[in-house]
Amino acid sequence: MKARYLIRIDDACHTMDRTKWQLMEDILDEFNIKPIVSVIPESRDPGFMLDEPDEGFWNKVRAWQSKGWTIALHGYTHQLHETESPMILPYYKRTEFAGLPYEKQAAKIRASWNIFNEHRVTPKIWVAPAHTFDKITLHAIRNETDIKFISDGIALDVYYEYDFYWIPQQLWNLTERFSGLWTVCLHPNSMSNEEMQTFRQLVRNKFSERIISFSDVTFNKTPKTILSRLFHMHVWLQRKKIRYALSIFNNCKK
Ligand SMILES: [Zn+2]
């Protein structure tokens, strides 16, 4: 089967850059794309204080939900702390969740889930801030929410692990792939107008027929295939090599 793509847009919050988000929404609407949108219910991340607090933010989230966008619970406050703690996907050494005791993680997840509920929004997917979380986080999500899906992980298609369905997220730009399911993660708050227009052109010229929505994905309880495991190993090895090369380069500069 030809490659299929999901679009995920991250870091929607009441102080997001509304002009950029509207531009992204217009592009997605133009091609009838229904993305996964990661919502921070109580953002206190200074990096996202980009506009005056929007009184109508939750109306907007409900409107997204009504038009078929899939809402993801993107942490609670998105305030990240440094950590050396082991994580399921150790992309970064900063996290809102990993390494915290169960009660603290559960309290955050509960508070986040309650805010969504108060505003009549039902998140279907977990998206960890900075990709960083641990098995305790998953335990808290199982106990505190109805969420069954995670958007993250390196694989070639959906898989089942730790009692969750995983939708892999492997790309940060629309990129040609031969087969499999690829989630492209975009951050409208930090995209330039030029990057927005490049995305639009790529959708229009090459990808629009292959972009699907969450409701088009079929899930079953199969673990990662051997091919997906090999791909996962390959990606993490490449990442380690790049990190090692960068550390040598940075040391040489000193
Ligand atoms: Zn984020």
Q: What is the CATH number of the domain that holds 149?
A: 3.20.20.370
Same domain, 142 and 249: no
Cα–Cα nearest to 12, from 109, 87, 104, 123:
123
Q: pLDDT-derived band of residue 209, with 50, 70 and 90 as boundaries?
A: very high
Same domain, 180 and 218: yes
Does residue 239 have a pLDDT over 90? no
Same domain, 205 and 231: no
Greater confidence (158 vs 91) lies with 158
Structure-block tokens of residue 59: 């109306």
Ligand 1 centre to CA of 93 (Å) is: 14
Does residue 1 have a pLDDT over 80? no
Same domain, 216 and 229: no
Q: Phi then psi for 166, rounded to 5 degrees? A: -105, 130
Ligand 1 centre to CA of 4 (Å) is: 24
Mean pLDDT over the full length of the chain: 94
pLDDT at position 241, please?
Answer: 81
Render pLDDT for 105-116 as a digit per residue (tens, 0 to 9): 999 999 999 999
Please tell me the pTM assigned to this model: 0.93
Ligand 1 centre to CA of 72 (Å) is: 11
The domain of 244 spans 224-254
Q: Phi then psi for 172, rounded to 5 degrees? A: -120, 5
Cα–Cα nearest to 216, from 71, 67, 72, 68:
68
Does residue 226 have a pLDDT over 80? yes
Does residue 254 have a pLDDT over 70? no
**For the chain, what is the domain count?**
2
Residues 226-251: what's their mean pLDDT? 84
Residues 165-182: what's their mean pLDDT? 95
pLDDT at position 189, please?
Answer: 98
pLDDT at position 58, please?
Answer: 98
Same domain, 253 and 154: no
Which residues sit opposite 82 in a β-bridge? 94
Does residue 83 have a pLDDT over 80? yes
Ligand 1 centre to CA of 227 (Å) is: 29
Same domain, 209 and 234: no
pLDDT at position 247, please?
Answer: 76
Ligand 1 centre to CA of 184 (Å) is: 14
Ligand 1 centre to CA of 200 (Å) is: 22
Ligand 1 centre to CA of 1 (Å) is: 31
Does residue 236 have a pLDDT over 90? no
Render pLDDT for 33-73 as a digit per residue (tens, 0 to 9): 999 999 999 999 999 999 999 999 999 999 999 999 999 99
Ligand 1 centre to CA of 185 (Å) is: 10
Does residue 177 have a pLDDT over 80? yes
Identify whether the C-beta of residue 24 lies closer than 8 Å to the C-beta of residue 188.
yes
Q: pLDDT-derived band of residue 221, with 50, 70 and 90 as boundaries?
A: very high
Does residue 200 have a pLDDT over 90? yes
Residues measured by CB to lie within 5 Å of ligand 1, the ion: 10-11, 129
Give the torsion through C-alpha atoms of 87, 114, 42, 94, to 10 deg: -10
Ligand 1 centre to CA of 253 (Å) is: 31
